[in-house]
Amino acid sequence: MNTRLNQWLQLIKNDMKLFIWISLGIFLFILFFQPFPLENSDSNNRLLIVAGLGGIVLLLSIIVRTLFPSREIEERYFQQTPKISKVISSVILLVAISVAFAFYLRYVGSVRITFFIMFKVVFVGLVAPVIIRLSDIFHALRHENENLLSDKKNALKKVADFEYENFNKSITFHSDNVTDNLTLLISEVAYIKSADNYVEVVFREGKVLRKQLLRNTLKTIEQQLQPYPLFIRCHRICIVNSYYISSLEKIDNNQWISIKGFDEKLPVSRQYLLKIKEITR
C-alpha cells in the first residue's frame, strides 16, 4: 500500500509543476481576455470565479493523469504497458474540463450557456490536454534518447574492451626464411607494405619505427590479420593499423594518410576511402 502511494506521489510530483503552469496560464487568459460573460459579478467575485476555472483544470489534470499515467511514468513506476491510448486520455480530459466549465459557468458564474459559449469552453479546454500531450511526447523522446545514448556508451565500451584485448596480443609474421619470422604485439605494428616478392613490416620499437622485410605476400598477411579489426586495407599495396593513422589529406588529387611518429605517407585508393574517412573523423 505504501509503495503504491509513494508511486502515486512521485507521479503527481513529476507533473505538478506543469499542471500549475497550465492552470495559471488559463487563469490569466480568462482574466485578461474575458472569453466568458461574467459582467453580472463584481470584480472580486469575478476574480474568484476565474480562479475556480483554473482550479478545475488543475484538479482534473491530476485526476486524469492519476487514472491514465503517461507511458514513460507507467513503465518506470508501475512496470505495466498502458492499457489506453494517450489520445483517448487527452479526449477524456478535454470532455471533463468542458463539462466542468459549462456547469461551473452556469451555476456559479450565472452565465447563459449557448453554442458560442460552449465553443469557447472547448477551445479553452483544449489547452491542457494539448500541452500535456506535447510534454509527454517531449519526455518520451528525451527518455528514448537517454536510452540510446546509454546503449551507445555500452557498445563503445565493449568495442574498446575488445580492441584493448586484441591490442595486447602478439602475432607472428612468417617468412619463407624461417629465421626471419617476426613476432610482435598488435600494438607495435604500424603498417605492412608490399615490396615485390616481399612485404615490409613497419613496427614501433621503443619510441622509433623500424622496418623489416619478410619473404611473403600481402594477401597472405591480410588473411592472417582478419581476426584483428584494427588492421584495414587502405590500398592494394598496404595494410595499416588504424591506431597509427594520424590524418587523411588530399595531395595532387590523391588521398594520403599520415602515420603517427613517421614521415612517410601511405596512399589511399577510392575503394577504401570511405572506411578510412570513418576512422579519421
The domain boundary, picked from 98, 133, 160, lies at 160
Asked if residue 165 is part of any domain, the answer here is no
Distance CA 48, CA 51 (A): 5
Distance CA 73, CA 82 (A): 10
| Structural domain boundaries enclosing 177 | 170-280
Are 268 and 207 in a shared domain?
yes
Cβ burial, residue 69 (10 Å; 0-12/13-18/19+): buried
Number of structural domains found in the chain: 2
Per-residue model confidence as pLDDT tens digits over 44-103: 788 999 999 999 999 999 888 877 775 545 544 444 444 456 788 889 999 999 999 999
The domain boundary, picked from 134, 160, 186, lies at 160
Are 60 and 197 in a shared domain?
no
Report the CATH number at residue 272.
2.40.50.1020
The domain boundary, picked from 160, 189, 216, lies at 160
Nearest one of 48, 45, 82 to 67, comparing CA atoms: 82
Are 133 and 12 in a shared domain?
yes
Per-residue model confidence as pLDDT tens digits over 186-227: 888 999 999 888 999 999 888 788 899 999 999 999 999 988
Are 143 and 184 in a shared domain?
no
Nearest one of 44, 51, 53 to 124, comparing CA atoms: 53
